[in-house]
Amino acid sequence: MASRSKQNIISTLFPKTNGPGRRTEVYRDKEVIYSQDSQADAVFYVHSGIVKITMDSKGRRRKAMLALLQEGDLFGEGCLGTGTRRNSTATSIRQSSITRLQKANFRSKLDEDKVVAGNFIKYLISRTERFHADLADLFLNSSEKRLARILLMYGSLEKEPSSGSVAPGFDQTALAEIVGTTRARVSTFMNEFRRKGYVRYDRGEMVVDAGRLTSFLSRSTPE
């Protein structure tokens, strides 16, 4: 889950109630929130669920995974710059509750309230640090460890008190896209994780053993 401190930084700007320039909606699994090249005129806040940010390579039929966002995260803030079009696509994973705030309303709040503006800058810095960590993970760690890190990170969204955490509903194709490898390799890794007890299945849900995965990630294995 998003930490309480992260939520407090900006959540007051995005109450779930509708208001001037503000609307909260529930998005279905795989529903597009906005598309690449669409008009950039609002900032979004995730109350619950997961949002996938991707970018298409024009003319090459390739797609890059830029980020996975969860409760307490902002996205679409690029509209505050000089660009008028989205440079990425935002898609809901499973069901997500998201508030949309018009760019003009968000800018007005930043201009009027120095505390909010300062907290927004802190949030952007934390997002940049997370992006750098994800980029380093992509280049420095094996695909197997990246997969383990994804399962551990996003499995914390839902908790089962006695048996571990329930991983989000990523199919193996989505996991391959996130990790940056092939679906066949993800399938091989998942079978091995299951054999070693890192994950198990309970009534169709994949349950992550956080302790064992953390231990696996802490080991130093040559690339």
pLDDT digits (tens, 9 = 90+) for 196-217: 999 888 777 788 888 888 888 8
Which of 10-19, 86-95, 188-197 is predicted least confidently? 10-19
| pLDDT band at residue 8 using 50, 70 and 90 as cut-offs | low
Reported in sequence order, the residue ranges of 19-156 that DSSP labels E, i.e. its strands, are 22-27, 32-34, 42-57, 62-69, 74-75, 89-102
Percent of the chain with pLDDT over 90: 30
Enumerate residues 6+ apart whose C-beta is below 8 A from 35.
Answer: 86, 89
The pLDDT, as a whole number, for residue 75 is 94
Residue 15 pLDDT exceeds 60: yes
CATH architecture of the region 141-218? Orthogonal Bundle (1.10)
Residue 50 pLDDT exceeds 60: yes
Q: Please, where in the chain does CATH 1.10.10.10 lie?
A: 141-218
The pLDDT, as a whole number, for residue 169 is 60
11: left (phi over 0), alpha (psi -120 to 50) or beta: alpha
Residue 73 pLDDT exceeds 80: yes
Pick the CATH number of 4-138 from 2.60.120.10, 3.40.980.10, 2.30.42.10, 1.10.10.60: 2.60.120.10
Model pLDDT for residues 112-156, shown as the tens digit of each residue: 988 888 888 888 898 888 888 777 777 777 889 888 888 887 665
Residue 3 pLDDT exceeds 50: no
Q: Provide the token pair at 67.
A: 């980020």
Q: Provide the token pair at 30.
A: 């795989």
Q: Please, where in the chain does CATH 2.60.120.10 lie?
A: 4-138
Report pTM: 0.73
